Structure 1
Amino acid sequence: MDQKKPHVLFIPSPAQSHIKCMLKLARLLNHKGLSVTFINTQTNQKRLIKSGGTRWLDDTPNFQFKTVPDGLPSATEDDAVEHTQTVVELWSYMGTNFYDSFLDVVSGLETPVTCIVCDGFMTYTNTILAAEKLKIPIILFWTMAACGFMGFYQVKVIMEKGLVPVKDESALTDEYLNMEIDWIPGMEGLRLKELPEFMRYSKLDDHLAFKFLLETAQAAHNVSHIIIHTFEELEDRLVKGIKSIFPNVCTVGRLQLHLNQIAEKEAKNMNLNGYSLLKEEPECVQWLQSKEPNSVVYVNFGSMAVMSLQDLVEFGWGLVNSNVYFLWIIRTDLVDGEPAVLPQELKDAMKEKGFVASWCSQEEVLNHPAVGGFLTHGGWGSIIESLSSGVPMICWPVSGDQQINCRQMCKEWEVGMEIEKNVKRDEAEKLVRVLMEGLEGEKMRKKAMELKKH
């Protein structure tokens, strides 16, 4: 590492979308002349290397990875058994052990750290306390939209207004859940049920997720600067609202487009993909090559969302019955508690128009001219990548900020439609047809293309 360059240390939350987003920002800062140290858990770093997610590193000076333990047993790179743990187990281990491991990593670095960029969801590991101990400035990076951040921040506000906790679950009526929240600029008419589901809890619950969100969102007050992964043309009023609460807020725009511009401007053959913990299958793009422009709907519910086998089957028949070409990413762990195995009859019906894979390079797929729509879970990484490609969406939100992302996408940005939580094949078929063939879908496509140009 170059001793003369400022040295930035990145701490991502140990999840695919967070790592991917922070790696993109890290690469941009590295390109601007900063040295970068990026901290992954040992298991995620092995997965990243195994999937080819670090293949760009050879051509990137002053960029290094360091690892911290995650509670899983060490394994060699060719170990056939991939040890796993639940999210709760991982977060429990990190909450207890990350602080000391992090201090050990910093003490072993050859060059002093100038600044720490920490994922907003990693403050529970005492990263702010560690930065204070080391006397290093720390910035929180929220790898989500302004609406997502503001949604999480409302935990404290809603408590202060006495809306939570409710007496018991019987109080979670439709009237309560449809209550309008009118105090957030840029999200007028937002309903209580569109905020993260962790907020709907009763006094009888020992709701750890609620407590975590409360503490995490409020930690933003304990640092001097925060970064949000959005662009102001999309969320102008929300960003202004956040800036009225926090003194120093920076938006970083669409990171992938920044990287694309560097490659074009400098005529570099930069590898702009390769951030995945999962093995990407090139056959996906090869299959798209023979398809007409805007003729394929891309289906991917992200790296962590799960569904029932019934939902999977309903989506499958909806796609088949729409008679539209579709590229469907079905992870091996997509179905909750059982293998993602489709009925043979559905498999046979899908052969004519569908192509199924376990993972792909999402930016490459979304930017392919054959792709005209995206059926997504509404994770912010997926939405901003779709907006960066000018592709309209159908959204099936599962948890966290996905509901509020979906709400903004449909009502404020007018680039998508929502599908009901309890999936029915007829509704899936109808929405796919509207998205890919209807006038409404064409309007959303034009709107998405306009946002791409901003």
Structure 2
Amino acid sequence: MGSSTRSKPHAVCMPLPAQGHINAMIKLAKLLHFKGFHITFIYTESIYNRILASSSPDSLPCSTDFQFETIPDGMMAGDMVSFFESVRDDFADPFGELVKRLNEPSSGVPPVSCIISDSFTSFTLGVAAELGIPDVFFCSVSACSYLGMLQYDELIRRGLVPPESERDLSNSYLETSIDWIPGMIKSMRVKDLPNFLQQDKIFKYFKDEVQSALQATAIIMNTFDELEFPVLNRLSAIFPPIYTLGPLNLLYDHIPDKSLKNVRSSFWKEDHDCLKWLGDRMPQSVIYINFGSVAVFKNQQLIEFGWGIANSGHDFLWVIRPDIVDGDSAILPKGFLREIEGRGFLTSWCPQEEVLTHSSIGGFLTHCGWNSTMESMSFGVPVLCYPYFGDQQTNCRYLCDEWGIGLEIGDDVRREEVAEKIRELMGGEKGKDMRRNAAKLKENATKASEVGGSSFLNLERVIKEVLGKERSCI
């Protein structure tokens, strides 16, 4: 290996093995690669094989300076508790062994100079400390939801967690005001905090992981200063240095070198035929529906959504994953396909950013995952919110109450409400206000990611101040 290659900074990227976390970190890795870093991106073995099976071979290319490695999956099972216990208990040793192997002179790659760790994979801290290198946490959830998780100890102290019984999960408990968190909006309720409150083991996992961020060298967040300033200001008073690089999808668009454009991380095969279908629709006439990679429904909920979408009268593109119904295959209501003929497109997965940028898209019915939220803001698309779990409840509250681009659909899905809110979003007075707010957010997000913008400059800063290698500007 030549000395110039050997002298490259080498970032090892360890995402939480979940679709949304991987999608965000792969963008960050591409940015760092363009800035001159050698990248080792780590998947678990099953995730690597799943991505390879759902994509073309060049989605995981063999490159001299952007490489993929795998570690065993541990004991991960289908339920969330087993998943997080496995991340906590089974990943540290194989991760450490992999980094040690990468540091051997015979590895053919530069010595590892920094670790980019998902903010919920703190097992990397010990390896970084042993090597004396930075461990930068990458937070792929919103700053407001991260601040919400930071309150878990205080919730215990105030007697709000754990709920004393199933009865305590009634509306009166969930509607309890949480107006005492510095930096957060005053309209927060118990139900708006990241919703692991009644799941003891998962609650403890996230409580501990957020506290572990105090040991990180720095924290990178996929948000932008103008969007979450009060929250970021509060977090900055508590945590190591925070660098906002969002929206990552827009920041990445400023890279002139697209040699890694085909590097994909989708768990499902993307259907590009939907883009041709969108091309035949009128501007802002289509509602796009996608509940993300994790949400599961009872089939009756899916039926209520189906009839609500159909009865709205609007054209729609609906992503229905093969595993979206809990323990069963999705069965659409009888007569549904006949009812939507000519105005609906159903698919199992799609290239979301290309869909959201399409001129025919007028609204987005979403689970409020942070990647989807950032992308909708980036492209000025207002949203209907149906959060599923985790940070999505907090994102939903901010989308509706603070940023003014969201309408929430109630937990108890009813076709009448779904149809009514789609109509309001697509053509009502409230929808017009939301569209104006979305256009303003798009403008702010674009400015943040452009040359000289806050996120653009923060990329330069985190490289110079933390990751140890100053590169020329994009």
Do these two structures clear the TM 0.5 threshold for a shared fold by scoring above it? Answer: yes
How well do the aligned residues superpose, as a CA RMSD in angstroms? 2.1
Q: Give the letter aligned to residue 135 of structure 2.
A: I
Q: Give the letter aligned to residue 234 of structure 2.
A: G
> How far apart are 1:172 and its partner, in Å?
4.0
- 1:383-427 Cα shifts (integer Å, max 9, x gaps): 111111110000001111111100000000001100001110010
Name the counterpart of 1:423.
413
Residue 93 (str. 1) matches residue 93 (str. 2): no
Residue 409 (str. 1) matches residue 407 (str. 2): no
Within 2, Cα distance between the matches of 1:289 and 1:119?
37
Within 2, Cα distance between the matches of 1:87 and 1:192?
21
Cα gap change, 1:60 to 1:439, in 2 (>3 Å): farther
Within 2, Cα distance between the matches of 1:102 and 1:338?
35
Within 1, Cα distance between the matches of 2:157 and 2:298?
36
Q: Residues 53 and 276 of structure 1 are in contact (CA less than 8 Å); yes or no, is this contact kept in structure 2?
A: no
Name the counterpart of 1:6.
9
For residue 159 of structure 2, the aligned residue among 157, 162, 169 is 162
Within 2, Cα distance between the matches of 1:349 and 1:84?
39
Q: Structure 1 residues 313-322 or 156-165, which shifts more? A: 156-165
Name the counterpart of 1:27.
30
How high is the TM-score relative to the length of structure 2?
0.87
Cα gap change, 1:273 to 1:357, in 2 (>3 Å): farther
Name the counterpart of 2:197.
199
Within 2, Cα distance between the matches of 1:345 and 1:56?
39
> How far apart are 1:173 and its partner, in Å?
4.5
Q: Structure 1 residues 170-179 or 318-327, which shifts more? A: 170-179
Q: Give the letter aligned to residue 358 of structure 1.
A: S
Structure 2, unpaired ranges of 5+: 445-474
Q: Residues 60 and 68 of structure 2 are in contact (CA less than 8 Å); yes or no, is this contact kept in structure 1?
A: no
> How far apart are 1:57 and its partner, in Å?
5.8
Q: Give the letter aligned to residue 4 of structure 1.
A: S
Cα gap change, 1:11 to 1:164, in 2 (>3 Å): same
Residue 128 (str. 1) matches residue 121 (str. 2): no
Q: Residues 13 and 42 of structure 2 are in contact (CA less than 8 Å); yes or no, is this contact kept in structure 1?
A: yes
Name the counterpart of 2:470.
none
Within 2, Cα distance between the matches of 1:374 and 1:58?
32
Q: Give the letter aligned to residue 97 of structure 1.
A: D
Within 1, Cα distance between the matches of 2:80 and 2:234?
32
Name the counterpart of 2:212.
219
Residue 176 (str. 1) matches residue 173 (str. 2): yes
> How far apart are 1:447 and its partner, in Å?
1.3
Within 1, Cα distance between the matches of 2:171 and 2:376?
32
Within 1, Cα distance between the matches of 2:32 and 2:153?
33
SS at match of 1:95: helix
Cα gap change, 1:53 to 1:420, in 2 (>3 Å): farther
Q: Residues 318 and 426 of structure 1 are in contact (CA less than 8 Å); yes or no, is this contact kept in structure 2?
A: yes
Q: Give the letter aligned to residue 42 of structure 2.
A: I
- 1:28-83 Cα shifts (integer Å, max 9, x gaps): 011111111100001111122222277366596511100001148xxxxxxxxxx9
Cα gap change, 1:328 to 1:401, in 2 (>3 Å): same
Residue 16 (str. 1) matches residue 19 (str. 2): yes
How high is the TM-score relative to the length of structure 1?
0.91
Q: Structure 1 residues 273-282 or 109-118, which shifts more? A: 273-282
Name the counterpart of 1:315.
305
For residue 247 of structure 2, the aligned residue among 246, 250, 254 is 254
Q: Residues 186 and 235 of structure 1 are in contact (CA less than 8 Å); yes or no, is this contact kept in structure 2?
A: no
Within 1, Cα distance between the matches of 2:278 and 2:259?
23
> How far apart are 1:449 and its partner, in Å?
1.6
Q: Residues 226 and 248 of structure 1 are in contact (CA less than 8 Å); yes or no, is this contact kept in structure 2?
A: yes
Q: Residues 116 and 131 of structure 1 are in contact (CA less than 8 Å); yes or no, is this contact kept in structure 2?
A: yes
**Identity of matched residues, %:** 42
Within 2, Cα distance between the matches of 1:269 and 1:67?
23
| Aligned pairs for 1:301-312 within 5 A | 301-312=291-302
- 1:273-305 Cα shifts (integer Å, max 9, x gaps): 733121101111111011111010000000110
Name the counterpart of 1:141.
138
Within 2, Cα distance between the matches of 1:337 and 1:363?
29
Q: Give the letter aligned to residue 277 of structure 1.
A: F
Cα gap change, 1:438 to 1:269, in 2 (>3 Å): farther
SS at match of 1:327: strand
Q: Give the letter aligned to residue 52 of structure 2.
A: I
Aligned pair count reads 434
Q: Residues 299 and 330 of structure 2 are in contact (CA less than 8 Å); yes or no, is this contact kept in structure 1?
A: yes
Q: Residues 103 and 130 of structure 1 are in contact (CA less than 8 Å); yes or no, is this contact kept in structure 2?
A: yes
Name the counterpart of 1:42.
45
Within 1, Cα distance between the matches of 2:247 and 2:402?
18
Name the counterpart of 1:113.
112
For residue 184 of structure 2, the aligned residue among 165, 176, 186 is 186
Q: Give the letter aligned to residue 40 of structure 2.
A: T
Q: Give the letter aligned to residue 314 of structure 1.
A: E
Q: Give the letter aligned to residue 62 of structure 1.
A: D
Q: Structure 1 residues 284-293 or 272-281, which shifts more? A: 272-281
Q: Residues 44 and 72 of structure 2 are in contact (CA less than 8 Å); yes or no, is this contact kept in structure 1?
A: yes
> How far apart are 1:321 and its partner, in Å?
0.7
For residue 277 of structure 1, the aligned residue among 267, 277, 288 is 267
Q: Residues 59 and 265 of structure 2 are in contact (CA less than 8 Å); yes or no, is this contact kept in structure 1?
A: no
Name the counterpart of 2:324.
334
Within 2, Cα distance between the matches of 1:214 and 1:353?
45
Q: Residues 70 and 90 of structure 1 are in contact (CA less than 8 Å); yes or no, is this contact kept in structure 2?
A: no
Within 1, Cα distance between the matches of 2:424 and 2:63?
44
Cα gap change, 1:447 to 1:182, in 2 (>3 Å): same
Within 1, Cα distance between the matches of 2:311 and 2:368?
23
Within 1, Cα distance between the matches of 2:187 and 2:286?
34
> How far apart are 1:131 and its partner, in Å?
2.0
Name the counterpart of 1:294.
284
Name the counterpart of 2:430.
440
Q: Residues 60 and 263 of structure 2 are in contact (CA less than 8 Å); yes or no, is this contact kept in structure 1?
A: no
Name the counterpart of 2:462.
none
Name the counterpart of 2:461.
none
